[in-house]
Amino acid sequence: MKKRINYLLVVGAAAIIFVGVLLWVLKLTMEDDFTWYEAHYTLYIVLGGPGLVCFAAMAVNKIRLWGYIGLVSFVAAIVVAACFGDLKWEVVVPFGVLILAGLILYFVVFGLPKWDKGDNQKAGYKTYAERKAEAAAKAEDDAKEK
């Protein structure tokens, strides 16, 4: 089932990128009909859309790398929006700090792998030498009983 979901996520990301590029090509060819569409909107679509898909992949696959890729993609989309003047830096910076703090908190609380105590840290664990000595003592006792 995961392979099917991964396939759908890749197809979704490709479709989003295709739509962004298609709108950009339509803007170049039919400028009069696409006056509402600016060329840098393509960057928002191409960066932000797959970022959403990466977050969905992180939720499905439990692989944090997808979350980091999505985070970088979103940050790039927001920086591009701020550079082109669609967003004011006074708005971007506080929201960016809040989103970054929330994502870091999420990764710290839920995303870190749990440390598994090895057998040697569990109560009653015996080293190899202790186990060999017990086996030898048991074999000696068995030999005496016979």
pTM of the model: 0.55
* Under 8 Å between Cβ of 74 and 110: no
Burial class (CB in 10 A: 0-12, 13-18, 19+), 96: middle
Band (133; pLDDT cuts 50, 70, 90)? very high
- 86 DSSP 8-state letter: S
* Under 8 Å between Cβ of 67 and 58: yes
Quote the mean pLDDT of the chain.
79
pLDDT greater than 80 at residue 95 = no
47-90 pLDDT, tens per residue? Answer: 888 888 887 777 777 777 777 788 788 888 888 888 887 777 77
Q: Mean pLDDT lowest for which of 46-50, 110-114, 136-140?
A: 110-114
State the average pLDDT over residues 103-118: 66
- Name the residue ranges covered by the structural domains of the chain: 2-116
| pLDDT score of 16 | 86
Q: Mean pLDDT lowest for which of 38-42, 87-91, 109-113?
A: 109-113
- 120 DSSP 8-state letter: G
pLDDT greater than 60 at residue 112 = no
- Please count the CA atoms within 13 angstroms of the CA of 115 that sit on its side-chain side: 2
| pLDDT score of 28 | 86
| pLDDT score of 34 | 77
State the average pLDDT over residues 99-117: 70
CA-wise closest residue to 40 among 94, 88, 87: 87
